[in-house]
Amino acid sequence: MEFEGLVVEEEARWSGDGAARQAARGLGWLSLGLGAVQLAAPRGVSRLAGVDDSAVARVAVRLVGVRELVQAAGLLSGRRPAEWIWMRVAGDVLDVSALGWALNARRGGRRLRAGFASAALVGIAAVDLMTAARVARSRAVTAGGRTMRLERSVTINRPVSEVFSFWRDFTNLPRFMTHLDRVEVLDERHSHWVAKAPMGHVAWDAEIIAEEQDRMIAWRAIGAPGVPNAGQVTFAAAPGGRGTEVRVRLAYRPPGGAVGVALARLAGREPDQQVREDLRRLKQVLECGEVIAVDERVSARGPMQRRVTRVLRRRLATGGRP
């Protein structure tokens, strides 16, 4: 699987279009049903709504039926799903106000039926509104979001099969991805990732979406990760018998768009730098069996200078992260 193909697929998911289309389809069938009933049996509908005493109401019911069918066509078309859902909400507002006005002018059994019908309409309106809000929210997470991409590689002086196997056993990842606390393998394709965060932990699930032995692993975060992301790692023999070229490609949607990216950079949490460090440590683990340790205690520094020195060492290692 080519990485660009994977990114295009993921972007469709991240932009929220997938979820919106699915929600729109459900509401589309609802519209179709309502519209069909209103057109086929306008008298029955009028009676149910307690407005069967008015010739105008029967015409109105037919018009509403036509509107529902137009909306159904739009919702089921799969185009601009979020906008069509908002159209339904607008229609609901119109219907509830019309029926409310009609209810005020009725007494007795009709008033009672108009009341039930209004309640049902409010219920449908609530469902529409919640769906519209949910779709809007899932788009907002990545709204205006640009997909960020990065690519980093490292040459490791070990055979391809060894490097591949090490990576494929995801429980090894925290040995060189220091922001991870642990990775639990759930089944052949799914794993649960737990990362250290300033307050406790952040967890998400990952799914392998493509894999070729000794050549490539591609994955994506599933569920609702804070940062939608997908990645691919490829393994290739380095020329001249120099081991394995490991190349990581990531695509992700940082929350908050360009501002979010700038803030993350300020906080030293730039994924590009993170990946470079991770690959450097992967190389150390595979070539030396360990991450290189330096005894920072052996110095004539006081506690304050120790802290400042630790910051300097981090900067020299990571390029700015505190």
Residues in touch with other proteins (CB under 8 A): 155, 157, 242-243, 280, 283-284, 287-302, 305, 308-309, 312-313, 315-319
Question: Among 128, 148, 130, which Cα is nearest to 14's?
Answer: 148
Nearest to other proteins of 53, 151 (CB atom)? 151
Phi, psi of 246 (to 5 degrees): -100, 125
**What would the DSSP string read from start to end of 282-305?**
HHHHHHHSS-----TTSSS--HHH
Q: Where are the beta strands (DSSP E) in the chain?
A: 148-156, 180-185, 190-196, 201-212, 216-222, 229-237, 244-252
Residue whose CB is less far from other proteins, 172 or 284 = 284
CB of 152 to other proteins, least distance (A): 13
d(CA 48, CA 116): 9
Q: Of the two residues 7 and 275, which places its CB atom closer to other proteins in the complex?
A: 275
To the nearest whole angstrom, how small is the minimum distance from the Cβ of residue 269 to other proteins? Answer: 16
Residues 6+ apart with CB under 8 A from 172: 166
Q: Which of residues 183 and 279 has its CB atom nearest to other proteins in the complex?
A: 279
Q: How far is the CB of 236 from other proteins (least distance, A)?
A: 16
Dihedral Cα 170, 316, 245, 248, nearest 10 deg: 50
Min. distance of Cβ 284 from other proteins in angstroms?
A: 5
From the CB of 292, what's the least distance to other proteins, in Å? 5
b/e 221-242 (16+ beta carbons within 10 angstroms → b): beeebebbbbbbbbbeeeeeee
Of 75 and 156, which has the nearer Cβ to other proteins? 156
Distance CA 312, CA 294 (A): 14
Least distance CB 271 / other proteins (angstroms): 17
Could you tell me the CA-to-CA distances from 121 to 73, 125, 250 in Å, in that order? 21, 6, 46
